[in-house]
Structure 1
């Protein structure tokens, strides 16, 4: 019972406790955030569609993917840049959200790796996932890992920053999660779209609970880097 209570308390603090000092944008800043968001979603989505349809092993994959990250990062910086945010410890002290983000990232990674056992048995689902992971299998793994980390950081800077601020606060979590999934849908990989809904929901709740993007960034890169490194051998073994 004690572990369950501790887990519930952690999730409450990390995802559902809302900070009282979340700043509100001026009318001018809000309009600017919305303009930047629309431009970024169109440009970033188009480049992402190109990147994810490049043949595995093709060197063009790296600059195009970094171009996608550059769009997200530029939009995130234009809308206000990085805000670290504040988390609350079990003793009520204000702490960095990084630790909570790491724990959530590891938890998501474990859940998705367990889910890989099911995916491996369904060719219709496994095929598109294998195609996406071929970039790691046939490309330069350190380069793919670096691109994965940079892209994850840039996505959180924008989706849980500028875009989150551009949406009415009561709708920010569902709307930013949905738009993140819509952008991801250009991959044509059903499980990646499903993953974006889960990851997007968790990181959006973190953004609301901490008031910043640091926690979501840590969660995202722990999950994405772990999936890149561990999912291929898990699927190969199965």
Structure 2
């Protein structure tokens, strides 16, 4: 086999592997105009309430009962709003042979890939004082808190955000660019934290989650990707900012 034939064969295999990811699954669920209007009203109220709680939760002391209570309250708000807005769907994606199946392996791989991209970006960000402080301000909640509680609240919020933003809010956007609308509202909600690192992260991740929602027609893919990404970020990012976290801990102890 010549080099040209080998490259063509490799290209064909890549296209066969990636092809199913580029095909949107046909929608098999519709709702009445009244249900759609109700979904929009509910998501509007919950978006404001959840964003407000999110901002308050990240202004509390790391590791405090108030922090954990508020953080779980944020997750509860997103989930309650998502379920109250109307039916949600897990979604499906095309597998080998064009068969439809629940998305599992691809979302997990997407979560790992997203973490890799963010880890590479963090290597650069830690050399930028503004970004180093912003990331350290967030990671101190993981560094100074109880590991099981931090993991529980972080993963609960990851699932809850997808239930609301890629479930209820995405559906409420209708046919008018739901990926962009859900990402924009996700980013606006994150601005309540007043943390530039979180706001910047919400845009590419919101787009990724939104595209997964569009392709699969449901929330299972973005939920799995979000959980995997969050787990890896919690595990491997704090050691990268150890010096900054030491400064944060000294500042917290002095208060």
Q: Same fold (TM over 0.5)?
A: yes
Report 1 or 2 for greater relative contact order, CA contacts < 8 Å, sequence distance ≥ 6.
1
Q: Does 1:176 align with 2:158?
A: no
- Give the Cα separation in 1 of the matches to 2:111 and 2:104: 10
- Give the Cα separation in 1 of the matches to 2:12 and 2:187: 32
Answer whether contact 2:25 2:94 (CA < 8 A) is retained. Answer: no
- Give the Cα separation in 2 of the matches to 1:153 and 1:133: 19
136, 139, 145: which one pairs with 1:139? Answer: 145
- Give the Cα separation in 2 of the matches to 1:151 and 1:115: 23
32, 50, 53: which one pairs with 1:44? Answer: 50
Per the alignment, residue 13 of structure 1 pairs with 20
Question: What do residues 157-207 of structure 1 show as CA deviations (whole Å, max 9, x unaligned)?
Answer: 111111111112231010000000110111122121111111110111111
- Give the Cα separation in 1 of the matches to 2:107 and 2:48: 29
Shift of residue 83 of structure 1? 1.4
Shift of residue 22 of structure 1? 4.2
- Give the Cα separation in 2 of the matches to 1:225 and 1:30: 34
- Give the Cα separation in 2 of the matches to 1:12 and 1:200: 22
Q: Higher mean Cα deviation, 123-132 or 20-29?
A: 20-29
Matches within 5 A, 1:41-120: 41-120=47-126
- Give the Cα separation in 1 of the matches to 2:142 and 2:66: 14
Per the alignment, residue 29 of structure 2 pairs with 23
TM-score where L is the length of structure 2: 0.87
Answer whether contact 2:53 2:74 (CA < 8 A) is retained. Answer: yes
For structure 1, the 5+ residue unaligned runs are none
For structure 2, the 5+ residue unaligned runs are 1-6, 245-255
Q: Higher mean Cα deviation, 158-167 or 186-195?
A: 186-195
Per the alignment, residue 191 of structure 2 pairs with 185
Per the alignment, residue 215 of structure 1 pairs with 221
Per the alignment, residue 158 of structure 1 pairs with 164
Shift of residue 225 of structure 1? 1.5
Number of positions where the alignment pairs a residue of Structure 1 with one of Structure 2: 237
Shift of residue 103 of structure 1? 0.9
Per the alignment, residue 201 of structure 1 pairs with 207
Answer whether contact 1:86 1:94 (CA < 8 A) is retained. Answer: yes
Shift of residue 152 of structure 1? 0.7
- Give the Cα separation in 2 of the matches to 1:189 and 1:91: 45
Q: Does 1:128 align with 2:134?
A: yes
Shift of residue 10 of structure 1? 4.7
- Give the Cα separation in 2 of the matches to 1:3 and 1:115: 29
Q: Higher mean Cα deviation, 153-162 or 82-91?
A: 82-91
RMSD over equivalenced CA pairs, Å: 1.9
Who wins on radius of gyration, i.e. which is larger?
A: 2
